[in-house]
Amino acid sequence: MKSILVTGGSGLVGSAIDQVKGNYTEDYYFIFLNSKKCNLLNYQETLNTFKMIKPDYIIHLAASVGGLFKNMSQNVQMLEDNLNMNMNVIKAAHTSDVKNMIVCLSTCIFPDKTEYPINETMIHNGPPHFSNEGYAYAKRLLEIQCKLYNESFKTRYICIIPTNIYGPHDNFHLEDSHVIPGLIHKCFLAKQSGEPFVVRGSGSALRQFLYSKDLARIIMEMIQNYTLTESLIISPREEHSISHVSELINTHFGNEIVFDSSYSDGQHRKTADNSKLLDFLPNFEFTPLEVGLTETIRWFTREYPNIRI
């Protein structure tokens, strides 16, 4: 039986992996690691944990993450925490003789000024958008670190680059969350208070949204069948405007919607090319946005207020 260690195991994607893992026939033993069990910002603690567990595979999901406004206000912390965490995980994995690992990047690491759609070869073709420099550069260095370890030590440290992930067990903090969980929480509170549902920005920005269970299924497919070490963008093809997403969320609550254009929209679009993913999984069916949002909102309203806020 192969053991798989998941960092960030109680978070959005780790929880999704826990939910879908039973659908795969090969025997795996999963260890879901969170910050209470191991502080990945401490190298010695990370190394000791990895040596004790001796995993066959690591899925590295843990990160200091947030939405647009957290990235803009905490750029230094986002840079330093993610640099330290990623360095500790990669180095400790290698020292513990872990040869196989999937690490999670983000499409926000791509250049601000670029041609669309973006693909896996374009990560370092220019600076990222100013709003998330700290997080983006830390993740870019993680991609370089994995590449150098693979070349130097014959490891298989594979970078996945998902688009905007959403789903149950997300962080629904009103200021520090990603766009969909933040909008769901605001829309819920607006319904309770009888006030308008205020969406920051014009609503015109475009994003590709990825349901967390879809990402979990793809990660499991990669563990079983992906033979390359090249990075892989994970994304549905469709783009949706923030205004459209806000309207879909609001169908569950029925508020008046107001777009506050005094706030930044961030990068207008980040259109990602998923052709390499479709070469690997040509018949993969993504969860439609309306279905994923419905499942996420049902989970949120059922679990509220005992969620990450």
Residues 6+ apart with CB under 8 A from 191: 197, 253, 254, 255
Structure tokens at 106: 């983000």
Please confirm, yes or no, whether 137 is among the known catalytic residues.
no
Strands 100-104 and 57-60 come out as: parallel
| Contact present, 128 and 110 (Cβ < 8 Å) | yes
As a whole number of angstroms, the distance between CA 306 and CA 266 comes to: 30
The closest alpha carbon to 214, from 144, 276, 295, 152, belongs to 295
Catalytic residue, candidates 57, 135, 157, 211? 135
The conformational region for residue 44 under phi > 0 = left, psi -120 to 50 = alpha, else beta, is alpha
Assign residue 173 a region: left if phi > 0, alpha if psi is -120 to 50, beta otherwise? beta
**Cis preceding linkage at 117, omega within 30:** yes
Enumerate the active-site residues: 135
